[in-house]
A and B are shown apart, each in its own frame.
Chain A
């Protein structure tokens, strides 16, 4: 009786947004300076990004991944200055 029906389950998505490698990151530079002040002098190339977590009822399909990419591209990150990747669990 379940033939043809899609069983959706709760998926937790974690999106990681980071400043693009070639874009300077003033926040990361400031945090880097503070790390040096703290004695953590070997720290280099500090970058500060953000994570966005949410849950959805979904099935992990190529279509679903495409919709996630669209979301990341249009809202959660700005492709001019940021990169993103995400994990499903």
Chain B
């Protein structure tokens, strides 16, 4: 299985993601520069964390116009698994592959800690049976305050699109939302960093089952 880890100018969790998918899970993971225009041959796509384009204008606002994003849209439209982590989540919201938007944390602080997440029973891959009732995953963001209008929130809840909620809300996100998926389930986005919870020396190893759940959308098991 080949996993594409996209690299935008200002991405800074790209090699962490490469290590998690490549080194730890032993998959064929490759960095793909944002100027590439094809994702041919890849089975999964990851938009890593960081500060693409310095967060200018809004987080993810400029990265969404990178050439590779046309290929990401086409890949997602065909049902390909796409995961956005932190800044990657912000980019997926800006480009419209996920609903809502992320704004400044209501505490105004950059939050860097290990957060406890309540797992939601979302679909056959992301549920409490597979992942447990709660997991511990690091967060590191200044703009993780998830926002969506009331109708949008009602739709998210009705479709069980919420994957994770913060046990203690660190940023003011509506509904304590930490991660969501699209309606079809192949595009997921989360502020916490599962790729930073994959080794014994890390604060937890709860990121591994999250990455595996994501990869279940491909036909290859890991």
Contact = CB atoms under 8 A, between A and B. Distances in A.
Contacts of A30: 108
B206 interface: no
A24 B106 contact: yes
B104 A26 contact: yes
Contact of A26 (B93, B101, B108, B149): B108
B105 A26 contact: yes
Contact of B103 (A22, A26, A75, A76): A26
A79 to B, nearest CB: 9
Interface in B51-109: 57-58, 61, 65, 93-94, 100-101, 103-108
B147 A76 contact: no
A75 B56 CA distance: 11
14 contacts: A24-B106, A24-B172, A26-B103, A26-B105, A26-B106, A26-B172, A27-B104, A75-B57, A75-B61, A76-B57, A78-B61, A80-B101, A80-B149, A81-B101
Interface in A36-70: none
B2 to A, nearest CB: 31
A78 B108 contact: no
A5 interface: no
Contact of B94 (A22, A24, A26, A78): A78
A30 B106 CA distance: 10
Given A26-B145, A26-B172, A78 B58 contact: yes
A1 to B, nearest CB: 41
A23 B104 CA distance: 11
A7 B45 CA distance: 48
Contacts of A75: 57, 61, 65
Per DSSP, chain B at the interface is loop
B148 interface: yes
Contacts of B104: 26-27
A41 B84 CA distance: 42
Contacts of B93: 80
B61 A23 contact: no
A23 B147 contact: yes
Nearest to A27: B104
Give the interface centre of B94, B103, B108 by most chain A CB atoms within 10 Å. B103
Contacts of A27: 104, 108
Interface string B127-160: 0000000000000000001011100000000000
Contacts of A22: 149
